């Protein structure tokens, strides 16, 4: 039993590490999972029963409420080893804040900071050997909460489980992405849940994305639900453009996830005295800039994808080819700076790295 702050975590170590199954020279995203996972349960209106156990299947009743009505939220975050071999999390307190924003919207209990952070710290310390150190690689961390009542009436669950597991991760996209502007299906509406990390937001994206992929694109750009003119997010990422040296991205609101990578990129751009605009941007404006030759860069930002350059935008039967990604000044610089901060090679002036 390990006690820290107010959380007592029961630790059951695996008797057989699976780390020898991991090829550190060939890591893809989301396929292999580290040795342990963290769990805590909410019942009688409080969180408790914190434990770390070997990663593996969990028993669940078929009537578990989350499986039916989608009371399921998650986070994506990453741990790194810097050049000194220290283990660091990137902005974990922001993930904690965001999971509780998701929890409120989905009528779920907030997870206290000590559970979130202590669970993370203990788990990642135990499995630190799983953190890859190759450029662009990291340990992807997946905290999530689900409603666990065995009840199929539609109401908020009275019981919940919080899990954290981790997965060594390489790059999410291994080449610049081709995107299609989606003008029939919608991801999010005003008053909806687009701004939270609810599992259903991802499930609903699969069919439109599959249709775009059948047409040769990698991802879609979601547009506003009313007019399908304003560009919102791309796949699982926030979307950014550099037009005439100005960095432009959709403003936060009901339909946009408050991405932590989004915020980090905007913060660095402002540090560098670049002009930044968080405002609506329409497909017409982007096509116009493309015609004028002022559309310098388009890219997605996200925890899993980090900075994903966009090479091509499809809209109404035409494809707009963007400038070669190698010559893109801002996105290459910001991707490198983020990697430098994570590896301890650049000053962490915003205190984003959290040593554990």
Binding site for ligand COI (CB under 6 A): 76, 202, 236, 302-304
User: Considering the complex, what minimum distance in angstroms separates the CB of residue 4 from ligand COI?
Assistant: 26
Closest residue to ligand COI, judged by C-beta, is 76
List helix spans (H) across the chain.
65-69, 92-105, 113-126, 199-203, 206-214, 260-271, 283-292, 329-342
User: Considering the complex, what minimum distance in angstroms separates the CB of residue 171 from ligand COI?
Assistant: 12
User: Considering the complex, what minimum distance in angstroms separates the CB of residue 259 from ligand COI?
Assistant: 8
Which CB, 99 or 286, lies closer to ligand COI?
99
Which CB, 157 or 303, lies closer to ligand COI?
303
Q: Output the CA–CA distances (angstroms, integers) from residue 205 to 76, 182, 186, in the order listed.
A: 17, 11, 8
H/E/C letters for each residue in 311-330? Answer: EEEEECCEEEECCCHHHCHH
Which CB, 276 or 307, lies closer to ligand COI?
307
Which CB, 76 or 109, lies closer to ligand COI?
76
Which CB, 8 or 199, lies closer to ligand COI?
199
Environment class of 22 (CB within 10 Å of its CB; exposed 0-12, middle 13-18, buried 19+): middle
Cα(161)–Cα(144) distance, integer angstroms:
8
User: Considering the complex, what minimum distance in angstroms separates the CB of residue 61 from ligand COI?
Assistant: 26
> Chain-centre distance of CA 156, in angstroms?
25
The one-character DSSP state at 230 is B
Would you state the torsion angle of the CA atoms of residues 303, 309, 311, 312, taken in this order, to the nearest 10 degrees?
A: 40
User: Considering the complex, what minimum distance in angstroms separates the CB of residue 303 from ligand COI?
Assistant: 4
Which CB, 102 or 303, lies closer to ligand COI?
303
User: Considering the complex, what minimum distance in angstroms separates the CB of residue 283 from ligand COI?
Assistant: 24
């Amino acid at each position: 039993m390990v006690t820290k702050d107010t959380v007592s975590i029961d630790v059951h170590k695996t008797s057989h590490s699976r780390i020898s199954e991991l090829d550190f020279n060939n890591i893809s995203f989301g396929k292999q999972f580290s040795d342990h996972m963290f769990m805590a349960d909410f019942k009688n209106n409080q969180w408790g029963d914190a434990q770390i156990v070997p990663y593996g299947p969990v028993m669940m009743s078929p009537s578990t409420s989350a499986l039916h009505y989608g009371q399921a939220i998650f986070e994506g975050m990453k741990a790194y080893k810097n050049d000194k071999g220290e283990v660091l999390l990137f902005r974990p307190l922001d993930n904690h804040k965001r999971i509780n924003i998701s929890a409120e919207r989905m009528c779920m209990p907030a997870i206290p900071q000590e559970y979130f952070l202590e669970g993370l710290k203990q788990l990642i310390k135990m499995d630190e050997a799983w953190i890859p150190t190759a450029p662009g690689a990291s340990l992807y961390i997946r905290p999530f909460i689900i409603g666990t009542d065995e009840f199929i009436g539609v109401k908020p669950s009275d019981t919940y489980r919080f899990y954290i597991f981790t997965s060594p991760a390489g790059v999410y996209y291994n080449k610049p992405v081709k995107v299609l502007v989606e003008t029939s299906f919608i991801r999010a509406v005003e008053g909806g849940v687009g701004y939270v990390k609810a599992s259903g937001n991802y499930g609903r994206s699969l069919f439109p994305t599959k249709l775009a992929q059948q047409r040769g694109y990698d991802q879609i750009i979601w547009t506003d639900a009313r007019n399908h003119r304003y560009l919102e997010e791309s796949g699982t990422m926030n979307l950014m453009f550099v037009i005439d040296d100005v960095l432009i991205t959709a403003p936060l609101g009901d339909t946009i996830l408050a991405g932590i990578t989004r915020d980090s990129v905007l913060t660095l751009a402002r540090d560098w005295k670049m002009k930044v605009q968080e405002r609506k941007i329409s497909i017409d404006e982007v096509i116009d800039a493309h015609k004028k030759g002022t559309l310098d860069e388009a890219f997605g930002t996200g925890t899993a994808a980090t900075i994903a350059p966009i090479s091509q935008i499809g809209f109404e039967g035409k494809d707009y080819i963007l400038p070669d990604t190698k010559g893109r000044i801002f996105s290459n610089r910001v991707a490198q700076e983020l990697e430098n901060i994570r590896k301890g090679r650049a000053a962490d002036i915003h205190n984003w790295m959290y040593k554990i």
